[in-house]
Amino acid sequence: RTGVELVLAVDVSNSMLAQDLTPNRMGRAKQVLSRLIDQLQNDKVGLLVFAGDSYVQMPMTADASSAKMFLQSINPGMVPLQGTAIGSAIRMSMGLFTPDTQAGKSIIIITDGENHEDDAVQMAKTAFENGVTVHVLGVGTPQGSPIPVEGTGNFRRDKDGNIVVTKLNEKVLEEVAIAGGGAYVRAGNAEFGLNPIIDELKQLQQQQFKSVVFEDFEEQYMYFFAIAL
């Protein structure tokens, strides 16, 4: 196959449970990325989750089915340290790409940008200088929404007892995309908004990948053989 290498870095902080998108920001992000993976059948994909820290969920693979399976398993709470360290996510994403390959490389950050902690703009610029474009997919609305506490019917509150309202931080996300030489789009309820990012990915240099697909069988004939005997 011929394609590019792509890392999906998904925000799994508690703010992604906000319901200003349907069913919530996390659910909408999964829908958008699943649609994206469907359109990138010839490319290699890696998956990373982040909040205050970043963790590799799936290394680079050409298996789109596995990518979608891992994507559906992610959820808020996978990263114990809360926050939205976008710069850390970009840095760790850089380590997932295949060394010494001429294939185009790109990172897609999926986040609401809430609680921006580190110098994500500088890290995006560094990635771009090293041949990796950084695209940003914003999930949420500027008006914001409370954050539900799962299983309670209540909302998260600050130390003063006020309900916390989490808002999409578009200003920071746009700055990250510009520094990374990529596109910024906002995922809405009416449409996925993927076309600008897909158009940018098509401009990347492609390279031939070779992959081996195999099936591993577990022999169980002996049970039937014993009954027959």
* Mean pLDDT, 10 residues at a time, the chain of 229 residues: 85 91 91 86 88 91 88 86 89 91 88 77 94 93 88 84 90 94 84 73 65 75 88
pLDDT at 175: 94
pLDDT at 36: 87
3-class DSSP assignment, residue 85: coil
pTM, two decimal places: 0.82
Query: Which two structure tokens, joined as six digits, stand for 113?
Result: 């940008």
pLDDT at 128: 95
Phi/psi of residue 149, nearest 5 degrees: -95, 110
Its sign, for the CA torsion 84, 19, 139, 73, is: positive
pLDDT at 188: 74
Query: Which two structure tokens, joined as six digits, stand for 65?
Result: 């089915």
User: Which residues have CB under 8 Å from 109's CB, separation 6+?
Assistant: 9, 11, 86, 89, 90, 134, 135, 136, 137, 173, 176
pLDDT at 77: 76
3-class DSSP assignment, residue 185: strand
**DSSP H/E element including 68:** helix 64-73
Classify strands 5-11 and 105-111 as parallel, antiparallel or unpaired.
Answer: parallel
Query: Which two structure tokens, joined as six digits, stand for 81?
Result: 């340290």
Tell me how far apart the 2 most distant CA atoms of the chain are, in Å. Answer: 75
| Helix 64-73 × helix 25-38 angle, to 10° | 180
**DSSP H/E element including 137:** strand 132-139
